[in-house]
Amino acid sequence: MFAIHPRGSGVVPELLDRYREVATSTLGHLTDFGAIVGISPLRRPVRLLGPALTVRIPHLDGSVIRSALEMAEPGDVLVIDVCGDERRACWGELRSYAALRKGLAGVVTSGRVTDTVELARLRLPVYSRGTSPLTTRAMELEGEVNVPVSIDGVAISPGDLIVGDDDGLFALAPARAEALLDPVLDKQAREAERRQELMAAHPEWWR
């Protein structure tokens, strides 16, 4: 039996816009909370930003992911907690096409992916624990959408801000994301000034 809950209120568009250039490594200088370090992007370079649409599946049954895709809105990040069997792939080529049709910003799963050759060709950011030929099955036993989930020990609620790049991922509650924004932007501005100084002093380093 599926439990489909209403969408989380999530981050406001203005906050999303201000996070577009925020690096996860800058966040990692200021906080440990929300850092997801056990999973990686399928392809690089990569950039991921959007509100979480969360899914919890029993490790073998991925049926509820279809329900999540049906209710997804453009810009969502689908966050899938596989609840145990991290050997299995809950995401692959056909689900990626459905995600692209919906305009999803990307996918994050605590499990694995399959059809990696095809996924690597698509412009859909996908973060996972790796690859596997073992897949979930369409058993329609149970599953939940828009509930708190856990990815690599990080609690993620519906509507939380997901920030991803080549270095990794952060999941931030909207209020936490707002509180971190000014310190993060200030640090990045200072780092950019220092970079420009070094480039002027040592142009040979960038040849």
Looking up tokens 């440990």, which residue turns up? 32
**What band does 26 get if pLDDT is binned at 50, 70 and 90?**
very high
Query: Encoding tokens for residue 94?
Result: 């056909």
Q: Which of 163-172, 177-186, 192-201 has the lowest mean pLDDT?
A: 192-201
Average pLDDT over residues 151-161: 95
Average pLDDT over residues 45-68: 94
Give 14-20 contacts, CB < 8 A, sequence gap 24+.
15/161, 15/174, 15/177, 15/178, 15/181, 16/49, 16/50, 16/51, 16/75, 16/161, 18/181, 18/185, 19/49, 19/161, 19/163, 19/177, 19/181, 20/49
Query: What are the structural domains, with CATH classification, of the chain?
Result: 8-206 (3.50.30.40)
**What's the pLDDT score for residue 48?**
98
Q: What are phi and psi of 101, to 5 degrees?
A: -60, -35
Contact 99, 124 (CB under 8 A): yes
pTM: 0.94
**What's the pLDDT score for residue 60?**
87
Mapped onto helix, strand or coil, the DSSP state of residue 79 is strand
Write the pLDDT tens digit of every residue in 29-50: 999 999 999 999 999 999 999 9
Q: Which of 6-20, 24-38, 144-158 has the lowest mean pLDDT?
A: 6-20
- Pick the closest to residue 168 from 61, 5, 41, 18 (CA basis): 41
**What does pLDDT average to over the chain?**
94
Distance from C-alpha of 205 to C-alpha of 207, rounded to nearest angstrom: 6
**What band does 165 get if pLDDT is binned at 50, 70 and 90?**
very high
**What band does 59 get if pLDDT is binned at 50, 70 and 90?**
confident
